[in-house]
Amino acid sequence: MSNDTRTEPTPADEPRSFLGRWLKITPGDILRLVLICVVAGLILAAFRVDPRRLWVDFFGTMVDAWREFIGISADLVTWGLDYFLLGAVLVIPIWLIVHTVRAMRRRPR
């Protein structure tokens, strides 16, 4: 009697060919692919990329999308700078007063 519990490999256990592995598509693969397509579509839509124009004139559309990206980035920097300056008008004078008062309280040893 042997305690050998090996069984003969079944066709399901055998390694599949490249084509067999490539053609094996699960519902999870389909769902993942759909979600990635939706996210990519949302990102491209944010840069006003038209899918029909993208199909016909890929490089021209990418140039326009890049220009849109630069424009959005410049607007974002301008918006951030405006609010930074608006906040600085209030915060910096208060900080200067607090810093001056703290410096006056400290005594050299």
For residue 1, give every residue at least 6 positions away whose Cβ sits within 8 Å of its Cβ, in sequence order, or none.
Answer: none
Q: Which residue has the tokens 């410096």?
A: 103
User: 13 and 21 in contact (C-beta within 8 Å)?
Assistant: no
Q: Which residue has the tokens 């579509």?
A: 41
Q: 102 burial class (0-12, 13-18, 19+ CB within 10 angstroms)?
A: exposed
Structure confidence at residue 89 (pLDDT): 95
Does residue 3 belong to any structural domain of this protein? no
Structure confidence at residue 108 (pLDDT): 63
Residue 35 sits in which domain range?
Answer: 18-105
Does residue 1 belong to any structural domain of this protein? no
Return the higher-pLDDT residue of 109 and 51. Answer: 51
User: 47 and 69 in contact (C-beta within 8 Å)?
Assistant: yes
Does residue 6 belong to any structural domain of this protein? no
Q: Which residue has the tokens 């424009």?
A: 71
Residue 16 has pLDDT above 90, yes or no: no
Instruction: Quote the number of domains for the chain.
Output: 1
Does residue 8 belong to any structural domain of this protein? no
Does residue 12 belong to any structural domain of this protein? no
pTM to 2 decimal places: 0.52
Lowest-confidence pick of 5-14, 19-28, 65-74: 5-14
Q: Rounded to 5 degrees, what are φ and ψ at 87?
A: -70, -35
Does residue 10 belong to any structural domain of this protein? no
Does residue 9 belong to any structural domain of this protein? no
Does residue 47 belong to any structural domain of this protein? yes
